[in-house]
Amino acid sequence: MANAPLRLADHMDASRVVDLAATTKVAALEELVNAAATSPDVEDAEALLGAVRDRENLLSTGIGLGIAIPHARIAGVRSFVVAVGRHAGGLPFDSIDNKPVHIVVLIAGPQDAKKPYLELLAQISKRLKLEDVRQRILTAPSAQEVVDLLTQTA
């Protein structure tokens, strides 16, 4: 399995797509960690939240274009789990372009899985670079459609 290509679709589930009620970055991170924690692969949600907050305190994961990709790799996660949050009004996220964030994609992964993490990040970034995809994620009528939009290969 080490040589099998990592598929984003294998780590996403419609149950982990949420319309964020948060009004702050910290609250949004908590909502997404709670969504990720519904996966049996997340054994320690508290440790995950702490690691995500610590990472965010080092440098904002708001990458511009209304996107943030918070992430952490910890021992309390057995396999990659991706959770997606949408916020129509936008959240202050200390993004590099100083604009509000509308799409937040949380990546939780095993502590020793750096290369697969980078593969997953590349797949997500490639899809979110497309303005059409970002707009469709924000207006998608169902969580499954959000998953489909992110996991389609061009």
Q: Which residues are catalytic?
A: 71
CA–CA gap between residue 3 and residue 32 (Å, rounded): 29
41: which residues sit within 8 A by CB, 6+ positions away?
77, 78, 79, 80, 81
Burial class (CB in 10 A: 0-12, 13-18, 19+), 63: middle
CA–CA gap between residue 20 and residue 13 (Å, rounded): 16
Tokens describing residue 73: 């790799």
Does residue 13 contact residue 42 with C-beta atoms inside 8 Å? no
